[in-house]
Amino acid sequence: MTAAPRPRVVLHAVGRAVRPLPATEAPPFADRAEAGWKLAERLERFRAQEPVVLGLPRGGVPVASQVAAALEAPLDVIVVRKLGLPYQPEVAMGAIGEDGVRVLDQEIVTRSGVSVAEVAEVEARERIELDARIRRYRRGRERIDLTGRTAIVVDDGIATGSTARVACRIARLLGATTVILAVPVGPAGTLDTLVGADEVVAVEVPDPFVAVGLHYEDFSPTGDDEVVVLLDRAARRVRGGTIRRGPDCDVDVEVPAGDVTLAGHLHLPDLATTVVVLAEPSNRSRHSPRARLVADVLFDAGFGVLVLDLLGPEEESDRVAVFDIALLADRLAAATEWLRQRPGAEACRVGYLGVGTAAAAALWAAATDGVAAVVSRGGRPDLAGDRLTRVSVPVLLIVGGDDVAVLEGNRRALATLPDGSELVVVDSAGHLFQERGALAEAALLARDWFARHLADG
């Protein structure tokens, strides 16, 4: 059996001495996106090889997304799972990957006294999760064929390198002829001895090394939803879909609605033709990561997006206001009128995406506002009352499979809505779509609905 190749290590220090990071010095990366931009600069020379960029979920995917976009390369995941000691799971004794690949640190296994049966038990458990993640992330998309290709394996940083070694081996076994490991930060000792890659590219190489997270201002966890959205965005780019990023409007706005002023965030692409109003019965949604994720999915598909809070600071905790559908609908109608008078959006077709009780308000308002399509996520369409019979545009009802009471109400509402309306159940999701991948799934369903009934109308 041919020995795994030792890499040629290319270490870039970005003008810094190779040393620990002083407590008074700002980390070199604001977040994973910035780390990806800086890493992409050092990978530019691989563009001509038409590489495939492979992100290690979860944290490596936001970094890899920036690299793939910069190199105009396809993006995929390369999923691996750590094999932790049975009695101390945080200590890795190896890792596994796709197609049955496994790497064991035999020294740790021997020293810890772990038996062959115990290793097999840990591996069987982790392989179940590995297979589930592959299905979740790819969402039915085929794995990108690596045969004869250059594979760039990207993570947000490495410490021991066990996961990176597995990822590089997997890439090679899947047909890659050249494997590059690229990370924003890692210890020199690990990078120098890491087998499996033909070359290692790093931006920061501290010595001594303490932890990857110390080199980021924001090292908050990456969720499965974000991974799914980034992969879907990259797939659209490779398929030739138009990802529009107009510079003209990406601002917080104040929207007059009767005797109150509503807070919102408006993001319009250049030469916008459609806008989705994403409305919640809240005073905080415009800045929440969950609303931003959904808004990014819609914007990347070419839609303008107005994220709108239908309640003021003092109203959000008022249950009467939250369930006052007529009030919420009037405010949504006022915001729609404001939007139609704003330069850049005045000729746009408008759709509503309502969340919770705002979904009922969206249906109420859609009966008279002349919008082109409506999506309800985790909504209570029954609260719109007899207004449902006056809705004439196609409506998509998205409900979590575990949200039993709301699901039944949506089924009854569907019978009242116009032909062409649909109910989609997201398996194992609850009312708030907080489960792994649930919010991303709902966002992509909404995007596709608006693409059919708003953009093509």
- The pLDDT of 12-18, averaged and rounded, is 34
Q: What are the tokens at 19?
A: 């040393």
CA–chain centroid gap for 324, Å, is 33
Distance of CA 12 to the CA centre of its chain: 29
Mean pLDDT of 225-245: 72
The overall longest dimension of the chain from CA atoms, in Å, is 77
158-177: per-residue pLDDT in tens?
Answer: 988 878 888 998 899 889 99
What are the start-end ranges of the H helices in 19-77? 32-43, 60-71
pLDDT interval class at 240 (50, 70, 90): low
Contact of 137 with 231, CB cutoff 8 Å: yes
Residue-wise over 134-167: b if at least 16 C-beta within 10 A, else e? eebbbeeeeebebeebbbbbbbbbbbbbbbbbbb
C-alpha distances (whole Å) from 125 to each of 105, 122, 131, 202 are: 18, 5, 10, 33
Banded model confidence at residue 325, pLDDT cuts 50, 70, 90: very high
pLDDT (0 to 100) of residue 117: 94
CA distance 452 to 390: 21
Cα-based distances in Å from 14 to 18, 46, 184, 204? 10, 19, 11, 7
Contact, 361 vs 374, CB < 8 A? no
- Report, as an integer, the average pLDDT of 193-214: 88
Highest mean pLDDT among 288-292, 312-316, 409-413: 409-413
| 30-60 pLDDT per residue, tens | 888 889 988 998 999 999 999 999 999 989 9
The full set of domains in the chain, from first to last, is 8-238 (3.40.50.2020), 249-455 (3.40.50.1820)
Q: Does residue 8 register a pLDDT over 80? A: no
**Nearest residue to 139 (alpha-carbon basis) of 240, 234, 231, 239:** 231
For residue range 334-353, list pLDDT tens digits in order. 999 999 999 888 889 999 99
Residue-level pLDDT at 25 = 67
Q: How far apart are CA 276 and CA 283, in angstroms?
A: 18
Please tell me the distance from the alpha carbon of residue 374 to that of residue 388, in angstroms, as a whole number. Answer: 12
Mean pLDDT, residues 307-330 taken together: 90
- The conformation of residue 454, written as its DSSP 8-state character, comes to I
